[in-house]
Amino acid sequence: MAGYTSQEITVLEGLEPVRQRPAMYIGDTAKNGYHHLLWEVVDNSVDEAINGHANTIEVHLDKDHRGATVIDNGRGIP
């Protein structure tokens, strides 16, 4: 077996690592991963409201159940 050196390491920048290996970040690329992402966004909105930075949260599920939109009047995604 050949030695492992720094030449074999590829540095991914920005969102590229998430695009290439989404399961590393959300745990799953199927339904559970989608739910995890949605709950993270909803949780950010709830945190804004709890801390007095928002008073409106809307969650819209697409009719085809393949997407969702979360809207609040908070400061934005951290």
How far is the C-alpha of 26 from the C-alpha of 6, rounded, in Å?
Answer: 27
Quote the pLDDT of residue 66.
86
The per-residue pLDDT for 39 is: 94
CA 32 to CA 44: how far, in whole Å?
A: 18
The predicted model scores a pTM of: 0.71
**Domain ranges (residues) in the chain:** 6-72
Looking at the predicted structure, is the pLDDT value of residue 2 above 80? no
State CA 75 to chain mean position distance: 17
